[in-house]
């Protein structure tokens, strides 16, 4: 897999990040333990989310991310997945330093294209300290950027009438996408308070924007015969699709007993949506689980730990890292039995140049399985596709513990 490094990333920043990592000062965004919260703001259930304010950054909390995933279709009917994530991480150092160069806040970003025509996931990453106008995350609304990588929300009269635009320029792909929400933010957990373990201190503030309508352009650099075309010579594919946006911030996210997590965000074909996750122990048992189910014409349903069951069905082993991922799952919610199947198996993202981890982040189809069949019946009906989305799996390479 090709890993990309932004050519303008200053050597001093690289040295700074390496020093902070080696000293153990930084942790992967979202993964601080409840025992190591320092002077950061705690996540509490009595804090009500308010928009448009909570579309913006929350620098008083230790970690935060804006995360968009989705499926794209071009004019020829070719389907691909895409991801763009901006992380903000408060370092806990330099608070008393008046210099604008003090590394109080870091921004990191991942972008990827899942293209079945390639033999692996195309991806890129960036990292920089917050230093406007070069890099920043605005506190009043969604506007986050690292150089020419950007994500911005434009209000059109209210929190439920808005659009997002993201632009990414990498070595072997680029995209410029406009995303239009179908409705107001969906508050996950209890009014946006999303618990991650039996201990309520392990929690985040968390909302989603499912069923985003996507339009825009995608460029892929063609490779072959050892040569590579530049993006300027690569055709722009007009694309449409559906996407999902998550915005989450926390000070203590990953419980000490957890190895990692499995998460899905699914746009259902009937216009509904499903978010589900489980925090996973080292022995693969479930420490905690939760989710949100929206069906047309029905009230939002908040799913508790006893209402969700993730069961791995098929594994794939990375030829680069040797990591073994469960790329196909059965998900059970009451009498609803779903099968998750990947667009392609190799959607491993190596982000050791930024967040110092390796994880699997990929486009999946969601199939509704039929009722259990009598053992005498040899043939079973084909499951029906009822949605598409993304599956994220962390902690399979190693425990999420450092940036």
Note the pLDDT of residue 53. Answer: 96
Look-up: residue for tokens 């300027």? 232
Note the pLDDT of residue 37. Answer: 56
* Mean pLDDT across the chain: 86
Max CA-CA distance within the chain? 75
pLDDT greater than 50 at residue 203: yes
Extract the tokens encoding 53: 């304010």
In the structure, what pLDDT confidence band is assigned to residue 401 with cuts at 50, 70 and 90? low
pLDDT greater than 70 at residue 226: no
- pLDDT average, residue stretch 47-53: 96
The H or E element containing residue 18 is: helix 11-22
Cα separation of 81 and 128, whole Å?
Answer: 26
Cα separation of 246 and 145, whole Å?
Answer: 17
Cα separation of 84 and 123, whole Å?
Answer: 10
Extract the tokens encoding 128: 């920089």
Note the pLDDT of residue 10. Answer: 36
Note the pLDDT of residue 398. Answer: 75
Cα separation of 106 and 88, whole Å?
Answer: 6
The H or E element containing residue 20 is: helix 11-22
Cα separation of 323 and 316, whole Å?
Answer: 8
Lowest mean pLDDT among 24-38, 198-212, 359-373: 24-38
Burial class, 233, CB count within 10 angstroms (exposed 0-12 / middle 13-18 / buried 19+): exposed
The share of the chain scoring above pLDDT 90, in percent, equals: 71
Look-up: residue for tokens 């989305």? 389
Cα separation of 127 and 135, whole Å?
Answer: 10
Cα separation of 272 and 211, whole Å?
Answer: 8
Note the pLDDT of residue 111. Answer: 97
Of 7 and 192, the structure prediction assigns the larger pLDDT to: 192
pLDDT greater than 80 at residue 27: no
Note the pLDDT of residue 379. Answer: 61
pLDDT greater than 50 at residue 361: yes
pLDDT tens digits, one per residue of 248-296: 999 988 888 899 999 999 999 999 999 999 999 999 999 999 999 999 9
Of 226 and 246, the structure prediction assigns the larger pLDDT to: 246
Lowest mean pLDDT among 18-32, 299-313, 322-336: 18-32
* 341 in Cβ contact with 367 (< 8 Å): yes
Note the pLDDT of residue 223. Answer: 63
In the structure, what pLDDT confidence band is assigned to residue 224 with cuts at 50, 70 and 90? low
Positive or negative, the CA dihedral 310, 313, 318, 323 is positive
pLDDT greater than 60 at residue 24: no
What CATH architecture is 11-41+49-393?
A: Beta Barrel (2.40)
Phi-psi region of 192 (alpha: psi -120 to 50; beta: other; left: phi over 0): left
Note the pLDDT of residue 233. Answer: 65
pLDDT tens digits, one per residue of 134-183: 999 999 999 999 999 999 999 986 555 799 999 999 999 999 999 999 99
pTM to 2 decimal places: 0.86
Q: Which residues contact 289 (CB under 8 A, 6 or more apart)?
A: 276, 277, 278, 279, 303, 304, 305, 307, 308, 310
Beta-ladder partners of 219: 174, 236
Note the pLDDT of residue 32. Answer: 43
pLDDT tens digits, one per residue of 83-122: 999 999 998 876 667 677 778 899 999 999 999 988 789 9
Note the pLDDT of residue 8. Answer: 34
Of 103 and 387, the structure prediction assigns the larger pLDDT to: 387
Note the pLDDT of residue 355. Answer: 75
Note the pLDDT of residue 237. Answer: 94
Lowest mean pLDDT among 190-204, 210-224, 271-285: 210-224
Q: Are strands 358-368 and 336-342 parallel, antiparallel or unpaired?
A: antiparallel
Domain boundaries, the chain: 11-41+49-393
């Amino acid at each position: 897999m090709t890993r990309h490094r932004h050519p303008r990333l200053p050597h001093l920043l690289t040295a700074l990040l390496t020093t902070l990592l080696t000293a153990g000062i930084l942790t992967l965004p979202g993964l601080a333990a409840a025992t190591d919260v320092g002077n950061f703001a705690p996540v509490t259930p009595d804090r009500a989310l308010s928009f448009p304010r909570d579309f913006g950054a929350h620098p008083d909390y230790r970690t935060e991310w804006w995360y968009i995933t989705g499926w794209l279709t071009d004019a020829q009917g070719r389907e691909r997945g895409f991801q763009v994530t901006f992380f903000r991480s408060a370092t806990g150092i330099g608070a008393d330093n008046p210099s604008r160069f003090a590394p109080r806040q870091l921004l990191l970003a991942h972008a990827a294209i899942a293209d079945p025509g390639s033999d692996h996931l195309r991806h890129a990453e960036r990292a920089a300290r917050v230093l406007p106008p070069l890099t920043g995350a605005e506190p009043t609304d969604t506007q986050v950027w690292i150089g020419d990588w950007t994500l911005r929300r434009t209000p059109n009269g209210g929190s439920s009438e808005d659009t997002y635009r993201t632009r990414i320029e990498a070595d072997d792909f680029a995209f410029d996408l406009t995303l239009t929400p179908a409705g107001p933010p969906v508050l996950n957990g209890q009014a946006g308070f999303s618990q991650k373990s039996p201990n309520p201190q392990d929690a985040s503030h968390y909302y989603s924007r499912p069923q985003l309508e996507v339009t825009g352009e995608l460029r892929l650099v063609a490779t072959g015969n050892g040569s590579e075309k530049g993006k300027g010579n690569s055709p722009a594919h007009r694309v449409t699709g559906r996407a999902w946006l998550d915005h989450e911030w926390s000070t203590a996210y990953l419980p000490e007993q957890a190895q990692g997590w499995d998460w899905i965000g699914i746009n259902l074909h009937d216009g509904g949506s499903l978010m589900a996750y489980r925090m996973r122990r080292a022995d693969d048992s479930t420490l905690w689980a939760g989710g949100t189910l929206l069906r047309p014409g029905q009230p939002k349903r908040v799913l508790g730990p006893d209402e969700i069951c993730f069961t791995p069905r098929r594994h794939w082993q990375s030829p680069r890292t040797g990591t073994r991922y469960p790329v196909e799952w059965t998900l059970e919610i009451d009498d609803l039995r779903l099968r998750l199947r990947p667009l392609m198996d190799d959607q491993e993202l190596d982000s050791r140049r930024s967040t110092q981890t390796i994880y699997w982040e990929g486009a999946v189809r969601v199939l509704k399985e039929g009722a259990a069949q009598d053992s005498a019946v040899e043939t079973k009906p084909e499951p029906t596709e009822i949605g598409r989305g993304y599956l994220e799996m962390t902690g399979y390479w190693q425990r999420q513990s450092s940036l």
